[in-house]
Amino acid sequence: MPMIAHVNIWWGILGLTPLILYFVLILCNVDVLPATLICVLIGAVLTHQSLLTLGDAVAHAMTSFLALVGLIIMLGRGLGEVLTETRVTHTLVHKIIYGIGVDTEKKAMTGIMVSVLVVVGLLGTLAGGNAIIAPIIVPIAAAVGLSRSSVAIMFQTAGEEALILGPFTPPVITLLGLTHITYPEMLWKVAIPISCVTFTTSWFVLQRVQRATRNKPEAQYKTDKDIETFVPTAKEKRTTWIFILLFIALVVYGLLTKASTSYIIVIMLGLSVVIGLIGGLKLNQTFKSVIKGMASNVWLFLLFLLLEPFLNFVEQAGGYAALTRIMQPLVNLGGKAMVVVSAGVLGAFGFSGAAVAVLKMLNDMFHPMVVRYSISMFAWSVALVVATRVTNFVHPGANMFSSMGFAESKDLKSMFKNGIAIAVAQIAFLVIYAFLFV
């Protein structure tokens, strides 16, 4: 693949064109897949690729870290389909809700958020997890008088944080691969602190929204229709307990042996087959469920194959080197902590779309500066996590609208109130963390 040996600042700025155009296309609501393809082609022109070398670049992407993450995401959706077919996810939610003993608004809020955390954290998909548990959650919320606006906020807030807490969610897998920190380190020094800030902030907003919408007819659920509440059978309970024990055992084994990212493929496939058979599915039914789940994420795998050459072309054109020189005044003004803050804010307000893609882009863009200034991987991880969470809270994207849809809410104003409050809290936390621990 041709390389540009010498890069001056002006040519480097030109090399940033694909990234700048990507921002513009995404902000104009162009779908992420065609937007990425357009930017790949522009990057190929800037780096003088031929049709042959462009094909080689895409083929090489098949062996990249992003392709591995894409495969894991698809397998995770396949496992999620098996857990749905065997009613494991339904049983988990039932145990959480009735284990807490829902008889007040605050108990219901706690039960709903814990349920979303567990299910979305296991499945690795906010929309997919909420789709499964919404039919169980909504009748319970209606019974205690929670408004649709409140339930929508809980679906998104808990779902977003589950994606940075679950051991095998796509953002977590990507973050660990990019920063090379361990999962326990990431959990205690990055994910849990950010989640505490988020839940504390959202809890206060949630109480205000519930008080404001509790008596509004348009925000109330209809309770006069007959809704069946899921009750797990003995077989479903047994399957769920086996899943929990196997899941914990496999995670602990992976941590003790310091297994690489590829170990997750064994976990996903192994759990799918074992739980499918124990849950009453035949072997061919189990694999059909896995394939059905995987098929829903083929587009994401294709996106990752295109993203790898896209980012490589930007680097070859000198874009990242130019970005380092452009940001030098900021570093001189605020020190290396400003690199961390700048990356987090840029990702939060300049990107939207697949979190894995945003993580990869930001890491590639700022990696030269992270290395040059010996920035702590924990501070850098906080920047990456805040960037991918805040963008979903302030941009009216799929996560926000799907949460509203499952909660049967049309109250976008309350979602923005919650999102803006969380964005302010997370960015404030990022600034403090960056200057204390960078």
- 437 falls within a domain: no
Residue 87 confidence (pLDDT): 87
Q: What's the average model confidence in pLDDT over 273-289? A: 92
- 344 falls within a domain: no
Residue 427 confidence (pLDDT): 94
Range of the domain at 240: 65-295
**Per-residue pLDDT tens for 137-167?**
877 788 788 898 999 999 999 999 999 998 8
- 402 falls within a domain: no
Residue 156 confidence (pLDDT): 94
Task: Indicate the pLDDT class of residue 1, thresholds 50, 70 and 90.
Answer: very low
Other Cβ atoms closer than 10 A to 120:
28
- 141 falls within a domain: yes
Taking a C-beta distance cutoff of 8 angstroms, is the pair 309, 54 a contact? yes
Q: Tokens at residue 276, please?
A: 């499918």
Other Cβ atoms closer than 10 A to 184:
10
- 38 falls within a domain: no
- 110 falls within a domain: yes
Q: Report the amino acid identity of residue 413.
A: K
Task: Indicate the pLDDT class of residue 253, thresholds 50, 70 and 90.
Answer: confident
Taking a C-beta distance cutoff of 8 angstroms, is the pair 53, 21 a contact? no
Other Cβ atoms closer than 10 A to 101:
9
- 203 falls within a domain: yes
Q: What is the CA radius of gyration of the chain?
A: 22
Per-range mean pLDDT, top range of 133-137, 274-278, 307-311, 314-318? 274-278
Residue 160 confidence (pLDDT): 93
Q: What's the average model confidence in pLDDT over 392-406? A: 78
Task: Indicate the pLDDT class of residue 225, thresholds 50, 70 and 90.
Answer: very low
Q: Tokens at residue 166, please?
A: 């679950």
Task: Indicate the pLDDT class of residue 356, thresholds 50, 70 and 90.
Answer: confident
**Per-residue pLDDT tens for 361-375?**
888 888 888 888 889
Domain total in the chain? 1
Side-chain half-sphere CA neighbours of 330 within 13 A: 15
Look-up of token digits 């605020």: 334
Q: Collect all residues with Cβ–Cβ distance below 8 Å to 421 and sequence separation of at least 6.
A: 201, 202, 204, 205
Taking a C-beta distance cutoff of 8 angstroms, is the pair 197, 426 a contact? yes
Q: What's the average model confidence in pLDDT over 117-146? A: 79
**Per-residue pLDDT tens for 313-332?**
887 877 767 766 776 676 66
- 266 falls within a domain: yes
Q: The whole model's pTM is what?
A: 0.73
